[in-house]
Amino acid sequence: MKDKTNLTGLNPENFQSVINGKKTDLYILRNSSGMEMCITNYGAIVLSIMVPDCHGKFENVVVGFDTLEEACRQSKDYYIGAVIGPVAGRILRGTFRVGEKDYHLQLNSVSNTLHSGDNGFHTVVWQARQPRENQLFLQYLHADGEAGFPGNIAVRMTYTLTEDNAFRIDYEAETDCDTLFCPTNHAYFNLTGIGNPTTSIENHLVMINADFYLPTDENTNHTGEIRTVADTPFDFRSCHSIGERINQNNLQLLNGHGYDHCFVLKKAALHELSFAATCISPASGRKMDVYTTEPGLIMYTGNYLPGFTGMHNTTYPRRSAVCFETQCFPDTPNNQHFPSIVLREGELYKQTCIYQFSTQS
């Protein structure tokens, strides 16, 4: 039964539990134009973003779940809606060096580490505080050695549903020992709206502000090459539908089973907040512009979504949702020519990501 107290229809009791001695709950953000977001502090998972279409109809545009149990289960393998960290993406053989020491992470993707392993930020309970209706503060103290990373890392995130209909994420972190740090958000979007079944995102139009992208091998590891998008299916400098070229006989698309690649964003300065991408659903008229302070944007077209059932019996077949993950380039430790993700003791880490919603007919 849909709960009538929130637009999404989630029952808060389904998210109230205790995991590792820490309380979990459902948090609801609203702005004055009627948008709503549901979030649980387990994995800082975004469960819903209710966005109006071009006729003013509100629908959820992210993959989400009815219960904490389901959210835990599916975010474990698919990282649905969660924050990823300390380091997003793959690290070859799960090995890196900071200072004079080598560190070894859990290998959870062939013989490599994906999204910091099975015990990353997406599996911990964040301390949450909601100071106002449209904002949630989330904090986590990542202990030295946790998930294999050095340093006690104090992480703070602010989720804001802005008055102009954006979901804004501000990250901050400090460490007491040099470490690696490069988090992202793993929301799966479908701007037509989550449904039963959720329809393919192949009709979504995308534009990405990138002249280059990072090729991968057959295990989705980065080869270290920085390749031009010109004359390839990775050229999104003008608008293309996701499906237009996704099934081409292109080695990179075959390696990724679709798009699962990092785009090198065009920037005047390395960490300026700038435009990264636009995504439009022609069916609903919903449009999302992505802005980031980070140099990279991973577009992952839900190639491995297996069709499981989520919120209100919605289903999520392969390619029914797309992720736009803002972050530094993946596997930086093994590619010294990529911008560094070392966070030094005493430094203040900052990152901002904005998913801006609007409509066009």
Stretch that binds ligand BGC, among 29-37, 169-177, 246-254, 297-305 (CB under 6 A): 297-305
Binding of residue 78 to ligand BGC (CB under 6 A): yes
325 is known as an active-site residue: yes
Binding of residue 314 to ligand BGC (CB under 6 A): no
Sites for ligand BGC among residues 222-281 (CB under 6 A) = 260
Q: Which is nearer to ligand BGC, 7 or 105 (CB)?
A: 105
Binding of residue 171 to ligand BGC (CB under 6 A): no
Binding of residue 37 to ligand BGC (CB under 6 A): no
Task: Single out the catalytic residue among 142, 186, 261, 312.
Answer: 186
Cβ of residue 314: shortest distance to ligand BGC, in angstroms? 18
337 is known as an active-site residue: no
Cβ of residue 359: shortest distance to ligand BGC, in angstroms? 28
Binding of residue 220 to ligand BGC (CB under 6 A): yes
Cβ of residue 89: shortest distance to ligand BGC, in angstroms? 7
Sites for ligand BGC among residues 93-112 (CB under 6 A) = none
Q: Is the peptide bond before 197 cis (omega within 30 degrees of 0)?
A: yes
Stretch that binds ligand BGC, among 236-244, 283-291, 296-304, 345-353 (CB under 6 A): 296-304
Among 304, 306, 313, 340, binds ligand BGC (CB under 6 A): 304
Q: Tell me which residues are annotated as active site.
A: 186, 325
Site residues, ligand BGC (CB under 6 A): 78-79, 220, 260, 298, 300, 304, 325
